[in-house]
């Protein structure tokens, strides 16, 4: 084939690109830095993420996707063009075929915006696949069989829970609560308790380093040795001066409970609407977790406690969606019922 085929997981926090025949070739943060004066894109991905919260007045670094859908069309188009150029080269004779994942709950308008932005960025054909379906394919779940499989994809902007059978989504529910909302919860809680204002990147670091879905007391017999601590730096909201504090994993766990409650509600919403035959399959097989936020410590235990259903974290949860998109693109005839095309 003269033209390349790309699978893109356009996430709120990270964007990944899969090149047919080669695998995942690009993994960069979904951040774009734009010059205010001439609306020119200054940096994309890792370079732009370094600028978050540190830009001068004439440059704005922002995330063009909010809650899994496009919030800034022009910037998203520029970012997609950058990703396609990175993988296919700027001087190309043939436009690539591109498959992009979209959240199950997104509207027709939001789907059209993704398709239009991808076409404008230089795609020949655009295919859309629903995120839970892509995640299930990437997690190596046999979705074509006549039995129920439940996947919960918890990314940066949205949580997608779905029951899949015979290659299609039977029941799905989405919550616009995921990794970014957990970061916000940490930021708000630290400001409330310590009068300390911290940045987006610091909050994310706290979540990754010591974040836990359950207090350590409930998950470990040796409580003293298991509690982790981290130094957090920011600006004092009263004095306006730089300050440093130390917080524990149990304090972070307390800060996350409200946001995690919304994720649990989305999962329960799917289980409540699942047909009894498929529900019995799910009890046997359990729920599969994918997405970057699935790596949060003890999240699987929290879901088991809330639902009573076994939970397994997929292998490489961050890559499940993009791998599934790539597999669907390489075997497009097998999955054509589940794919929209333009």
Task: Tell me: is residue 181 an annotated ligand-binding position.
Answer: no
Q: How many CB atoms lie within 10 A of CB 244?
A: 9
Q: Which are the contacts of 318, defined by CB distance < 8 A and separation ≥ 6?
A: 14, 16, 291, 292, 295
* Pair of tokens at residue 111: 């789907």
Q: Count how many residues are written for the chain.
A: 342
Q: According to the annotation, is 71 in a ligand binding site?
A: no
- Does 157 count as an annotated binding residue? yes
Contact between 294 and 109 (Cβ < 8 Å): no
Cα–Cα distance measured from residue 165 to residue 146, given in angstroms and rounded to the nearest whole number: 6
172, two tokens: 């799905």
To the question of whether residue 268 is assigned a binding role by annotation, the answer is no
Helices (H), the chain: 46-49, 73-88, 108-120, 131-138, 179-194, 200-210, 216-219, 223-226, 249-273, 276-285, 299-307, 320-330
> What stretch of H or E contains 39?
none
98 annotated to bind ligand:
no
Q: Is position 203 annotated in a ligand binding site?
A: no
The answer to whether 270 touches 171, Cβ cutoff 8 Å, is: yes
Q: Do the beta carbons of residue 308 and residue 335 sit within 8 Å?
A: no
What pairs with residue 86 in β-bridges?
none
Asked if residue 89 belongs to a known ligand binding site, the reply is no
Q: Is 173 annotated as a binding residue?
A: no
Residue 156 among known ligand-binding residues? yes
Q: Please state, in angstroms and rounded to a whole number, the distance separating the CA atoms of residues 102 and 121.
A: 17
Query: Is 207 among the annotated ligand-binding positions?
Result: yes
Binding-site residue set: 12-14, 156-158, 204-207
Binding-site residue set for ATP: 12-14, 156-158, 204-207
């Amino acid at each position: 084939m003269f033209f390349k085929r790309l699978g893109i997981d356009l996430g709120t926090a990270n964007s990944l690109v899969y090149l047919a025949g080669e695998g995942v070739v690009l993994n960069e943060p979904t951040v774009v830095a734009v010059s205010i004066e001439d609306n020119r894109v200054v940096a994309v991905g890792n370079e732009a993420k370094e600028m978050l919260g540190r830009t001068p007045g004439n440059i704005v670094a922002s995330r063009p996707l909010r809650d899994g859908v496009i919030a800034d069309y022009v910037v998203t188009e520029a970012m997609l063009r950058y990703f396609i150029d990175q993988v296919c080269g700027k001087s190309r004779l043939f436009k690539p075929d591109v498959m992009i994942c979209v959240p199950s709950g997104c509207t027709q308008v939001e789907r059209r915006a993704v398709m239009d932005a991808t076409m404008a960025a230089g795609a020949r054909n655009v295919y859309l696949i629903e995120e839970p379906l892509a995640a299930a394919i990437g997690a190596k779940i046999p979705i074509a069989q006549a039995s129920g499989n439940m996947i919960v994809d918890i990314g940066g902007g949205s949580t997608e829970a779905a029951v899949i059978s015979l290659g299609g989504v039977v029941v799905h529910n989405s919550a616009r609560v995921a990794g970014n909302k957990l970061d916000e919860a940490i930021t708000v809680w630290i400001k409330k308790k310590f009068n300390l204002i911290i940045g987006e990147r610091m909050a994310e670091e706290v979540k990754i380093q010591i974040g836990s879905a359950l207090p350590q007391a409930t998950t470990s017999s040796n409580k003293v040795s298991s509690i982790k601590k981290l130094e957090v730096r920011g600006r004092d909201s009263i004095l306006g001066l730089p300050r440093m504090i130390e917080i524990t994993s149990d304090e972070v766990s307390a800060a996350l409970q409200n946001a995690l409650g919304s994720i649990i509600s989305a999962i329960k919403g799917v289980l409540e609407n699942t047909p009894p035959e498929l529900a019995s399959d799910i009890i046997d097989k359990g729920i599969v977790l994918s997405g970057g936020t699935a790596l949060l410590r003890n999240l699987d235990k929290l879901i088991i406690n809330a639902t009573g259903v076994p939970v397994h974290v997929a292998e490489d949860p961050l890559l499940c969606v993009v791998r599934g998109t790539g597999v669907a693109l390489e075997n497009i005839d097998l999955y054509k019922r589940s794919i929209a095309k333009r």
